[in-house]
A and B are shown apart, each in its own frame.
Chain A
Amino acid sequence: MTALRIVQLYPVLLGVTGDRGNVDVLAQRARRAGLDVTIDSVSPGDDLPDADIIVLGNGPLSALRSVVDDLRDREPALRAHLERGGVILAIGGGAELLGSRIGVLDGDDLDGIGLLPYRVDRSRDRRVGYIVAEAPEGRIVGFEDHASVYRLADGAGPYAQVTAGKGGVPYADGRAGEGVRVRNAFALNVQGPLLPLNAWFADLLLAEAASAAGLSYERSGELDLVDGYADGARAAIEERATKHFTAIDL
């Protein structure tokens, strides 16, 4: 039987916000659905194995600078992966690298790899606290902690509309948005990490990846317990994010 192949890029340098949790959730949900799963870690200089899902995590600017050349060399492979219907999940700093440029406040700007249609500018104000945002397929709940504003290229729009919290991807009319989706590439600032708190989102990624790989994914009922806990976490976060002053402000 063919396995669902998950690859995490730069887990040592880009993985400061529980990013391995996203990988683990994808793997566990896929296995419970009866799929075989492989997980590979790729560091700078390593070969990129064939993948169905590629996860790129969060890290500081120095880490972005140290991996960007390696990532740029992989741009054709990542583009081909997307064209095959493959999934990319990129969070925080890793997501910023996939755009055209990262404008920084001090020091030299950093050229991204230009895979996705945005540039990101680091901002003085930090956006920290719980976030809730409505995406076409469901409600995203999590924690944001970033100082970045995405500028989308013409024709591109945010993935989700923010209903509590700040978000980093504003709509053209100024409304708060969060995330970018292009094909099956998803770029977001949402931590927590994202996938344990948003089981529907994990299932969306798995269904897309499985379908592109000629497999099928169906959520297993064995996940009822953990998803029930996640529902409790979502309810607590939504309650706090919308009814209380969000935790941190500049």
Chain B
Amino acid sequence: MSKGSSGIRYVPAIAAGKAVRVATRLRGGGSAFPGYLTNRLAPSLLATLAEGFQDGIVFVLGSNGKTTTTHMVSEILRAHGLKVFTNPTGANLPQGVTSALLADATLTGKVKADVAVLEVDEAYAADLADILHPRVIIALNVQVDQLYRFYETERVADMMLDAATRASVAVVVNRDDPYLSKIDESSLAAPVAFFGASRELVAQSAHGLVNAADTRSGNAGVADREATAEVVALDGRDVSVQLPEVRVDLTIPARGLHYAVDAAAATAAVAALLGSRFRTDATAQGFSRMAPAYGRGELVPLRPGRTDEQVEFVMFKNGPSLQLNLDALESAPERLLMAIDEGTPDVSWLYDVDLDKLDHVDVVTGEKAYQLATRLAYAGIPIGLVEPDMERAVQHMRALPTTTSGRQTWFVNYELMMIGRRLLGHGDQEVARR
């Protein structure tokens, strides 16, 4: 591929008008990002900042679960007594990582933390790794995601595999992922630690882990790999991860096999980074301190000044994340809002998601409400109201009788999660991971 330094710019004309996805360069051509840095900063500043972390840097890459896993790794390290620097939720492009580091740096060019845990956009991971020299790189999964941006899913796999060659201590890889499980260990500078879920747990999950089929090697499925961190038990939010020597029992912040697998990845990464300093009790303690991340099982009161009914936000950004979150439901939501707007340009994947978990939807909203309603109707799911305007949809949800469970469930894309939170009076609490 040689796309030069051209990029895709996406300008959503959404109501909020805020969420701008920054231009991305497609990897393989000219190297736009180092140029960007050279133009704006002393070229060595970022590298100097990186060297200040005595316990090094961890990169978290993946189509789904980056934010959650970054949060998990950070909390486990904190529970081990380390001071952790991490980039704010979603600030995973070079500009975001750079400005977060600069914001925390002292005038002498030092960030006062022992270790950095960074969620990094796949498209920039290799370039950033060349500058920051991460010790550990976690590659969570390759799922069909943002084709309008990446064109072909295998390119996303190559971005992660390419970045992985830059890790100096460990590459932590999902063995249940068709592309990633075929990682060429001879290309790497560091040993691989595979994580995953037991065969039984994957088989019990209605749609497995929804990782992308490998379309290029002749084997669409996974290569057989031994996991060094394996989810061996899952009951609600209680998870057991088997490590080579010990088993760690954890309580994770939200239900779902994908979160349990993220927890195995985080545990494997910390074990690799800390070596003999790794402790299972501190690991469990790190998880117990975690609050649910923004839009991932978080609860917000439905009506101001009242606590009798909460909204559980469930964010999805693509087919796999919607499927995994549906699969994680204990039962059909009693009161359900679903929302998609133009922040999600192509919603063809709605037809690849199995919606059997739902028995009705109360309100369908967002600019793409009628596209979603069409999909739901073909799935035979009754709809109470289609109201493209989110504000009116929220009013309608508030006017419905109180649920017996005291809980409404709102499945939302990122942009409408932000708007929905604001409409509920929780708008500006952009969650820093401390």
Listed in ascending order, the chain A residues whose CB lies under 8 Å from chain B are 12-13, 15-22, 24-25, 28, 59-63, 65-66, 105-106, 124, 126, 128-129, 143, 145, 147, 191-193, 196-197, 225-226, 229-233, 235-237, 240, 244-245, 247-250
Q: How many residues of B contact A (CB 8 A)?
A: 44
Chain B 356-400 residues near chain A, CB threshold 8 A? 367-371, 373-375, 377-378, 386, 388
Q: Please judge, given known A-B contacts A106-B2, A191-B346, A245-B11, whether A62 and B215 are in contact too, CB under 8 Å.
A: yes
Most buried by A among B2, B342, B370: B370
> Whose C-beta in chain B lies nearest to the C-beta of A107?
B1
What's the least CB distance linking B1 to chain A, in Å? 6
Contact status B213-A18, CB under 8 Å: no
What's the least CB distance linking B429 to chain A, in Å? 29
What's the least CB distance linking A126 to chain B, in Å? 7
Task: Please measure, in the bound complex, the distance between the C-alpha atom of A25 and the C-alpha atom of B378, giving whole angstroms.
Answer: 7
What's the least CB distance linking B389 to chain A, in Å? 12
Contact of B13 among A59, A225, A244 (CB under 8 A): A244
Q: Which residues of B contact A225 (CB under 8 A)?
A: 377
Contact status A232-B13, CB under 8 Å: no
Contact status A145-B148, CB under 8 Å: yes
A/B interface sample: 17 pairs, CB < 8 A: A21-B350, A25-B378, A60-B152, A61-B152, A63-B216, A66-B215, A106-B1, A128-B345, A128-B346, A145-B147, A145-B346, A193-B351, A197-B374, A248-B10, A248-B11, A250-B7, A250-B8
> Whose C-beta in chain B lies nearest to the C-beta of A21?
B351
Q: Which residues of A contact B8 (CB under 8 A)?
A: 126, 128, 248-250
Contact status B346-A13, CB under 8 Å: no
Contact status B215-A233, CB under 8 Å: no
Listed in ascending order, the chain B residues whose CB lies under 8 Å from chain A are 1-3, 6-13, 144, 147-148, 151-154, 213, 215-216, 218, 220, 342, 345-352, 367-371, 373-375, 377-378, 386, 388
Contact status A63-B215, CB under 8 Å: yes
Q: Which residues of B contact A129 (CB under 8 A)?
A: 345
Contact of A232 among B154, B218, B349, B373 (CB under 8 A): B373
Contact of A229 among B1, B147, B352, B373 (CB under 8 A): B373
Q: Which residues of A contact B388 (CB under 8 A)?
A: 236
Q: Which residues of A contact B370 (CB under 8 A)?
A: 229-233, 235-236
Contact of A143 among B3, B11, B348 (CB under 8 A): B348
Contact status A229-B377, CB under 8 Å: yes
> Whose C-beta in chain A lies nearest to the C-beta of B353?
A18
What's the least CB distance linking B400 to chain A, in Å? 21
Q: Which residues of B contact A237 (CB under 8 A)?
A: 371
Task: Please measure, in the bound complex, the distance between the C-alpha atom of A236 and the C-alpha atom of B370, giving whole angstroms.
Answer: 8
Contact status A17-B147, CB under 8 Å: yes
Q: Which residues of B contact A236 (CB under 8 A)?
A: 367-371, 388
Contact status B216-A66, CB under 8 Å: yes
Contact status A229-B386, CB under 8 Å: yes
> Whose C-beta in chain A lies nearest to the C-beta of B153?
A60
Q: Please judge, given known A-B contacts A16-B147, A60-B154, A60-B215, whether A143 and B345 are in contact too, CB under 8 Å.
A: yes
Task: Please measure, in the bound complex, the distance between the C-alpha atom of A230 and the C-alpha atom of B152, giving whole angstroms.
Answer: 28
Task: Please measure, in the bound complex, the distance between the C-alpha atom of A240 and the C-alpha atom of B3, giving whole angstroms.
Answer: 29
What's the least CB distance linking B159 to chain A, in Å? 15
Q: Which residues of A contact B386 (CB under 8 A)?
A: 229, 232
